[in-house]
Amino acid sequence: MAMDFQATTQRRQAELIVRAYIDAIASNVATNISWYDFRNDGNDPFNFEHNMGIITRDFRPKPAYRAYATMTRMLRGRKLEGELDLGEGMVVFRFGAEDNPSVTALWRRSGDKTVALPAGTAMTLTGLMGDTEQVPSEGGKVNVPLRDETPVFVSE
């Protein structure tokens, strides 16, 4: 089967699923979206149609599944509070709830960069695979390292 497009890596799929869902939530337009497919359609690693799922044909989770799980855990019970302006090329959404600390989801549209996010105290930085690290507050801000088009979550 000839493909006239570039294949998407599993890492890229993980980045895309989180960005797609957060963009949809933040749009206040899409009330429901779903990912095509949940499960891979086949086992051929070179067949595009066989590899769209977030779990493999034998039900093993792919990185996109883990990224989706991280996103749902981070945003559970929270609603969009608004978008923050951290400069050109940045996508930054803040989510909050009465009983839970706020969470900020952010990524760069292009290129790697460290950005300063307003914060009075140390924050927890959570990557797509659920890895966490404490980021100290310096001068009322935390420095958040961002990789090209890769969402991260910052929480209080």
Backbone angles phi, psi at 144, to 5 degrees: -115, 115
- pLDDT tens, position by position, 104-153: 999 999 999 999 999 989 999 999 999 999 999 999 999 999 999 999 99
Cα separation, 107 vs 94, whole angstroms: 12
DSSP string, 33-79: --PSPSB-S-S-TT-GGGS-SSB-TTSPBPHHHHHHHHHHHHHTT-E
Domains of the chain with bracketed CATH? 10-74 (no CATH), 78-155 (2.60.40.1180)
- pLDDT tens, position by position, 3-27: 666 778 999 999 999 999 999 999 9
Cα 39–chain centre separation: 20
* 120 strand-pairing partners: none
Backbone angles phi, psi at 122, to 5 degrees: -60, 150
For all residues of the chain together, what is the average pLDDT? 92
- Asked if pLDDT for residue 29 goes beyond 90, the answer is no
- Asked if pLDDT for residue 2 goes beyond 70, the answer is no
28-42, 85-99, 109-123: least confidently modelled range: 28-42
